[in-house]
Amino acid sequence: MGKRVAVVVGGSVAGLACAHAVAEAGWEVVVVEKAAVPAGGNGTGAGLGLDAQSMEVLARWIPGWGLDAATLPLAVDLNRATDSEAKAARTLTRDEGFNFRAAHWGDLHRRLHEALPAAVTVLWGHQFLSFEAPDGDGDGDDEHGVVATARVLRTGETVEIAGDLLVAADGCTSSIRRRFLPDFNLRYSGYSAWRGVFDFTGKESCTTMSGIRKAYPELGNCLYFDLAYKTHAVLYELPNNRLNWIWYINGAEPVLTGSSVTMKVSDAMVEEMREEAKRVWGPELARLMRETVEPFVNVIYDAGEPTPRLSWAGGRVALVGDAAHATTPHGLRSTNMSVVDARVLGCCLARYCREPCARSRARALAEYEAARLPVVAAQVLHARRLGRLKQGLVVGSHGEVFDARTATEEEVSQLRQSSMPYFSGAPIVE
């Protein structure tokens, strides 16, 4: 029996994590990615929070991962109420057992790419078009797999990539998921997010940084959530002299073009955001937002209902990452779910490596689905609730609305990240 081949569609963090995990299970992997080159460690990008389980998994794949060099601690989860008129903040809830680490998306992507094993080939500049997978229940011994078709963007030619398994890591607007679940639609959350990364290299003593350090004295160790009336902002420090901020704003669903949930912004939109920041936030955060180069907008979606399936076509197709469980950012789940998806998928494939390919695929993907569906469904729904609480939107069937100005101690406790299901780690199928 020749070596089995997995075709991974999508070369973002989820796709590269899958490449590591599936290669670790003894498979060859071909990653199909539209971007012409891998991401660098810098650039606009975005910050992300990694939990202890993800850090442990990543250490398997990235030699010398180096916690201190690659990440900063987020040991404290701190929610504060902001009075927009008085420009003052008070603590709502503080959790000193958070135990996350802050990383930059581009840096994590670069490290995953550089550490890819020899069994992985990445086809950069290849736009996935379609695939074919013979029907079947996966109980037989036939070796039919999948054939993916992609366009080489540099030349315009069309190529076919054959494999035994197709892994869809093509994001929340996944075309592969749409083929099997045409009625499964993303749900607009009711708000969008302005995002930015402020690089303060050489500006450590500038007025902006002096003010921010005074207003947010635990940066470098703390995840700050500032809640104003029907809005909230997030602030934390990243390695290499960067601050990551996010500001969620309620509103009607914007009109998007293409498959990206990142919206193009004009200079007028940026200026309007900066003026509104002066009204809502303290002068230190407003100044930081004003001085951030190229802020951008993400329109926030999640799965309208948790995905009912993670595999199809007799064990020939698997969903991972945002393709499997689009989620709002609250609870810092997206990357963490993607990393654990990859690890569990790899473990499941490894368990059945001695069986004929068709049978092993079906059993492995059934086990993967059984392990991950309960976890990701619970986390998607909890992240949705957490976002609605912090945005002052209706939560529950009785029209409840959270207001930081009047919230009780019991209501405030719901803001803690540690209330997330499986916060201490999800089951891994070894």
- pLDDT digit string (tens) for the chain, length 430 residues: 578 999 999 999 999 999 999 999 999 999 999 999 987 655 445 899 999 999 999 999 998 877 667 899 999 999 999 999 999 999 999 999 999 999 999 999 999 999 999 999 999 999 999 999 875 544 444 566 899 999 999 999 999 999 999 999 999 999 999 999 998 889 999 999 999 999 999 999 999 999 999 999 999 999 999 999 999 999 999 999 999 999 999 999 998 877 788 888 999 999 999 999 999 999 999 999 999 999 999 999 998 888 889 998 888 999 999 999 999 999 999 999 999 999 999 999 999 887 777 788 899 999 999 999 999 999 999 999 999 999 999 987 778 899 988 999 999 999 999 999 999 999 998 7
- Fold classification of 70-105+186-303 is D-Amino Acid Oxidase; Chain A, domain 2 (3.30.9)
CATH no. for 5-63+108-185+305-419? 3.50.50.60
Nearest CA to 74 out of 55, 60, 56 is that of: 55
From start to end of 96-215, where are the E strands? 100-104, 120-124, 126-132, 146-152, 158-163, 165-168, 186-199
pLDDT for res 145: 87
Nearest CA to 327 out of 172, 107, 159, 167 is that of: 172
User: Which residues have CB under 8 Å from 288's CB, separation 6+?
Assistant: 198, 208, 212, 235, 243, 245
What is the C-alpha to C-alpha distance for residues 46 and 103, in angstroms, rounded to an integer?
9
What is the C-alpha to C-alpha distance for residues 391 and 334, in angstroms, rounded to an integer?
19
What is the C-alpha to C-alpha distance for residues 186 and 325, in angstroms, rounded to an integer?
10
Nearest CA to 140 out of 294, 393, 359, 286 is that of: 359
User: Which residues have CB under 8 Å from 419's CB, separation 6+?
Assistant: 382, 386, 413
Amino acid (1-letter code) at residue 385:
R
Q: Which two tokens stand for residue 334?
A: 């997206």
CA 238 to chain centre: 16
Nearest CA to 321 out of 7, 12, 103 is that of: 12
Ordered by start, the domain boundaries in the chain are 5-63+108-185+305-419, 70-105+186-303
Contact between 148 and 160 (Cβ < 8 Å) = yes
For 283, half-sphere exposure in the C-beta direction (CA atoms, 13 angstrom radius) is 6
Exposure letters 229-268 (e unless 16+ CB within 10 A, then b):
ebbbbbbbbbbeebbbbbbbbeeeeeeeeeeebeeeeeee
What is the C-alpha to C-alpha distance for residues 45 and 58, in angstroms, rounded to an integer?
20
**DSSP characters for 304-362?**
SS--S-SEETTTTEEE-GGGT----STTS-HHHHHHHHHHHHHHHHHHTTTS-HHHHHH
Contact between 295 and 199 (Cβ < 8 Å) = no
Beta bridge partners of 395: 400
